[in-house]
Amino acid sequence: MNRFASDRFDVCVHGRGAVGQALALSLSRLGLRVALAGGESPAATAAPDVRTYALSARSVALLQQLKVWDALRAARPPVATAVLDMQVAGDAGGALEFSAWQQGVRELAWIVDAAALEREMETALRFAPHVSRVDAAVPADLVALCDGRDSPQREALGVEVERVDYGQRAVAARLHCDRPHLGRAWQWFRSPDVLALLPFDIDDSRGYGLVWSLPQQRADELMAADAAGFEAALNAASQGAAGTLRLAGERASWPLRLARASRWHGPGWVLLGDAAHVVHPLAGQGLNLGLADVDTLTAVLAERAAREAWRPLGDERLLARYTRARAAPTWAMGQVTDGLLQLFAREGAPWRELRNRGLGLVDHVPALKRWLAHHALQG
């Protein structure tokens, strides 16, 4: 990575998660001088991230522009798998199926190894012109906070966060299966837990990424269970629909919340990714939203360079364009994921009937299905 003298940078990006890395790469392509602040990348230091991310078409397009996607696709063993169809099941017979063929696209999404994604971005950053890695904040015209859901920098600015803790944890792991995945993703709304199996090419296409959102106590029990106990619970929950599942490695779990910062920009600063908004992972959209933030901020700053270069990068009017563009899609995703979760958390026959009929109804209204798929694909 290039190092500049200690003079001022155009942008200081805080946070070396996927959103901060993508932003640094993207802004360096505009010719801006970027400082990327934060310790070692999580991919280099922490225990390997066992998550697999579902990435939308828009996220993949951004990674292509950043010259990261081709490396991910070329990696061996594979670290990216196409989703060709998806089965969603309710808790009383309701079902919904999406297929790439029906939607007229090559794939519904890509399932990507979380650690490999950060690693490839780290490699791209090493070759990126205009990016310097720094240990702490440096003077810059714009400070971009991508330091995650508990953003210390956001706290320091006194930005309030509206937050709902779900009292749930998401358990993630890699799984082996006795059958090939055939590109199919599975999701069960089991009331109160949500179980997702994401096709992933380990073990000759006989693998899945697991995201299982459960009430805190049940998640703790499953994390404490031995492998055989965990696998028995998992196979009981999935009822063998995808085949018999076995753990392929460690489990890890994350607390779940819905959160939204009250302000996303101010004079000389802007929030992106989980620092600005956190959604439940049931729709696999948190990172997609963060990468769309990156795309939008880059477009706003590119437009400034073309038409109003006199405006400082930290100009509030400029940054307000970014906030306005991102407010509605991120709010809508928060509402959809929260609404689904609340609907499936309700006890009682009428609610069960309503949600399962709802799934069946969507399955039979092609326009509504197309609309849902389009929003999931575009992130």
Binding region for ligand FAD (CB under 6 A): 14-20, 37-38, 42, 51, 53-54, 146-148, 152-153, 170, 172, 211, 254, 273-274, 281, 284-288, 290
**Closest distance of CB 83 from ligand FAD, Å:** 11
**Closest distance of CB 69 from ligand FAD, Å:** 15
**Closest distance of CB 290 from ligand FAD, Å:** 5
Q: Which is nearer to ligand FAD, 41 or 103 (CB)?
A: 41
Strand-pairing partners, residue 11, are 34, 142
Q: Which is nearer to ligand FAD, 100 or 144 (CB)?
A: 144
**Closest distance of CB 210 from ligand FAD, Å:** 9
| Coil vs helix vs strand at 310 | coil
Radius of gyration of the chain (CA): 21
Q: Which is nearer to ligand FAD, 55 or 313 (CB)?
A: 55
Q: What b/e readout covers 52-76, taking b as 16+ CB neighbours within 10 angstroms?
A: bbbbbbebbebbeebbbbebbeeee
- DSSP per-residue letters across 214-254: EEHHHHHHHHHS-HHHHHHHHHHHHTTTT--EEEEEEEEEE
Q: Per the omega criterion (within 30 degrees of 0), is the bond before 192 cis?
A: yes
**Closest distance of CB 357 from ligand FAD, Å:** 27
Q: Which is nearer to ligand FAD, 90 or 290 (CB)?
A: 290
Q: How far apart are CA 118 and CA 18, in angstroms?
A: 6
Please answer whether residues 227 and 249 qualify as being in contact, where contact means their C-beta atoms are separated by less than 8 angstroms.
no
The alpha-helical segments, DSSP class H, found in the chain are 18-28, 42-45, 57-65, 69-74, 100-103, 114-127, 152-157, 216-224, 227-238, 286-307, 316-345, 349-364, 366-378
Q: How far apart are CA 362 and CA 372, in angstroms?
A: 9
Q: Which is nearer to ligand FAD, 94 or 273 (CB)?
A: 273
**Closest distance of CB 85 from ligand FAD, Å:** 17
Q: Which is nearer to ligand FAD, 15 or 207 (CB)?
A: 15
Half-sphere exposure of 307 (CA within 13 A, CB side): 7
Q: How far apart are CA 224 and CA 152, in angstroms?
A: 31
**Closest distance of CB 364 from ligand FAD, Å:** 27
Q: Which is nearer to ligand FAD, 175 or 211 (CB)?
A: 211
**Closest distance of CB 218 from ligand FAD, Å:** 15
Q: How far apart are CA 174 and CA 119, in angstroms?
A: 18
Q: Which is nearer to ligand FAD, 16 or 352 (CB)?
A: 16
Give me the residue whose beta carbon is nearest to ligand FAD.
Answer: 17
Q: What b/e readout covers 345-379, taking b as 16+ CB neighbours within 10 angstroms?
A: beeeeebbeebbeebeebbeeeeebeebbebbbeb
